[in-house]
Amino acid sequence: MFEPENPGLARPVWQVGALCRAIADALQARFNPVAVRGEITGFSRAASGHCYFTLKDRDGQIRCAMFRRAAQQLDFSPRDGELVEVVGKLGVYEARGDLQLIVEDMRRAGQGALFEEFLRLKAKLEAEGLFDGARKRPLAALPRGIGIVTSPGAAALHDVVTALRRRVPHIPVVLVPALVQGAQAPASICEALSKLYLLAQQGRAAEPDLAVDGAPSIDAILLVRGGGSIEDLWAFNDERVARMVVQSPVPLISGVGHETDFTIADFCADLRAPTPTAAAELVAQPREVWLGVLQLLADRLADGVQRQIDQRLQRLDMAAQRLGRPSGLAARQQLQLARLAQRMRHAVLLKLQRLAHDQQALQADLPRKLAQGLQRQDQRLEQLALRLSLLNPQRVLERGYAVLTDDRGRTVADAAGLRTGDALRATLAHGQVDLTVAQPRLL
């Protein structure tokens, strides 16, 4: 086999390395540079920054390498299953004799035309004011209900529901399913949003905390979808969806794709979340946080009520001191006030203990009721103080009467015990007068 029929036409014997270099030179002359379209598989990024992967379609595959310098110029993170277009040079990896493509540039397939359409629509809607920050609303601190628009079979729904169950299991959630990919997706998303808008408007017109036709009131809406290529997310760049998003009667959060993905819906929404899970976390503060706030408010209310009670008891003590020797009626009234204060303290503390176990207490009417209760107690205290003031001996003295006392300070109420020459002191409304009995007279 190695002996040719014509010795003058002997085949050359190649060294392996030389043959690989010859093949590489032939590829360079015949194909390079070359553009290839295919699906990424086996993507990996080495510690050096170089990227290695395979491009494939249904008819074949080719190994690819993208060195760090080129990889650093990418404006997205390549993922397995993503359809891309690459530009590079065919060559042979001589150490293994493998055909490989050295990639110098990469973009998502079809990204050029789609991206231009994205920029055109973005500029148009921005000029119309759809992205204006002044029209965007803050989220409700404690929503009564949360609406979700997404595909019922999407991983994004599982992530959102898991986050909501973990953080706010007590808040009801309404899912309106919609297509999130494909030609029919924009119309499906708009229809789903319209249903949630109607429910939200009915809830706002109803009394707080009341359901409408068995459904909870909606105070926030999540529009979510998992990551994908620009084609996969294109439904959220549709003008119909953008205009429907800005019509939301309640704050709407857009959580579409991954952190590096941006859509027109993100700019139109009241708030953009980097991922579906982040959208759920933004709208749902953990229940433990609100219970802590509730306990803090309950403690403050208890302290405030106790201070009010102490201040009024102190005022009562001062009024009693000004009266000197109150009558039996005043003493009974003071005792009654003490009992009422104790009953009020007990009732308020019991109410606060109940509030500490009720996460809905933040929307209750406790502060107003407490204020009304304190106002009633103020009025009652003022009435009792008025009654006490009527018993004040000073009022009697101001009408022209006087209190007579002997030289020992004892009150003189009967002339039978007096003798001529006894020294007396008359206490008037303003001042005192020393007197001497001239002649006792009995009436």
pLDDT tens across 347-356, in order? 878 877 777 6
Q: Per the structure block, which two tokens stand in for 90? A: 């065919």
Tell me the average pLDDT across 183-210. Answer: 81
| Nearest in space to 39 (alpha carbons), one of 84, 89, 78 | 84
Question: What is the band of 329 on the pLDDT scale with cuts at 50, 70, 90?
Answer: low
Q: Tell me, what's the pLDDT at 209?
A: 44
Q: Tell me, what's the pLDDT at 189?
A: 96
- In this predicted model, which residue has the larger pLDDT, 202 or 323? 202
Lowest mean pLDDT among 14-28, 184-198, 255-269: 14-28
Is the per-residue pLDDT at 395 higher than 80? no
- Taking CA 128 as the corner, what is the angle to CA 123 and CA 132, rounded to the nearest 5 degrees? 90
Residue type for 212, please? Answer: V
Calculated CA dihedral for residues 242, 243, 249, 255, nearest 10 degrees: 0
Most confident range (mean pLDDT) of 16-25, 181-190, 406-415 is: 181-190
> The whole model's pTM is what?
0.47
- Taking CA 379 as the corner, what is the angle to CA 375 and CA 383, rounded to the nearest 5 degrees? 170
Its CATH architecture, for the domain 134-285, is: 3-Layer(aba) Sandwich (3.40)
Most confident range (mean pLDDT) of 1-15, 51-65, 196-210 is: 51-65
Q: Tell me, what's the pLDDT at 180?
A: 93
Question: What is the band of 243 on the pLDDT scale with cuts at 50, 70, 90?
Answer: very high
Q: Tell me, what's the pLDDT at 185?
A: 94
Q: Per the structure block, which two tokens stand in for 78? A: 């390549």
The residue ranges of every structural domain in the chain are 12-109, 134-285, 308-391, 396-436
- Cα separation, 250 vs 221, in Å, equals 7
12-109: what CATH class? Answer: mainly beta
- In this predicted model, which residue has the larger pLDDT, 153 or 291? 153
| Nearest in space to 147 (alpha carbons), one of 263, 245, 233, 234 | 245
Question: What is the band of 212 on the pLDDT scale with cuts at 50, 70, 90?
Answer: very low
Share of the chain above pLDDT 70, in %: 82
Q: Tell me, what's the pLDDT at 211?
A: 43
Is the per-residue pLDDT at 389 higher than 70? yes
- Provide the β-strand partners of residue 87: 35, 105
Q: Cβ distance 283 to 139 under 8 Å?
A: yes
Residue for token pair 């989220």: 139
Tell me the average pLDDT across 305-332. Answer: 74
Residue for token pair 């190649």: 14
pLDDT tens across 19-73, in order? 767 676 666 666 678 888 888 888 999 999 999 999 988 888 888 999 999 999 8
| Nearest in space to 181 (alpha carbons), one of 224, 222, 146 | 224
Question: What is the band of 340 on the pLDDT scale with cuts at 50, 70, 90?
Answer: confident
- Cα separation, 399 vs 113, in Å, equals 102
Is the per-residue pLDDT at 206 higher than 70? no
Q: Tell me, what's the pLDDT at 99?
A: 80
Kindly report the backbone phi and psi dihedral angles of residue 376, in degrees, each rounded to the nearest multiple of 5, phi listed first: -65, -40
State the DSSP string of 369-411.
Answer: HHHHHHHHHHHHHHHHHHHHHHT-HHHHHTTT--EEE-TTS-B
- Cα separation, 417 vs 227, in Å, equals 108
Q: Per the structure block, which two tokens stand in for 328? A: 């039996």
Residue type for 149, please? Answer: V
Is the per-residue pLDDT at 282 higher than 50? yes
- Cα separation, 402 vs 443, in Å, equals 18
- Cα separation, 139 vs 71, in Å, equals 39
Residue 231 contacts by C-beta under 8 Å, 6 or more apart in sequence?
A: 83, 108, 109, 110, 114
Is the per-residue pLDDT at 157 higher than 70? yes
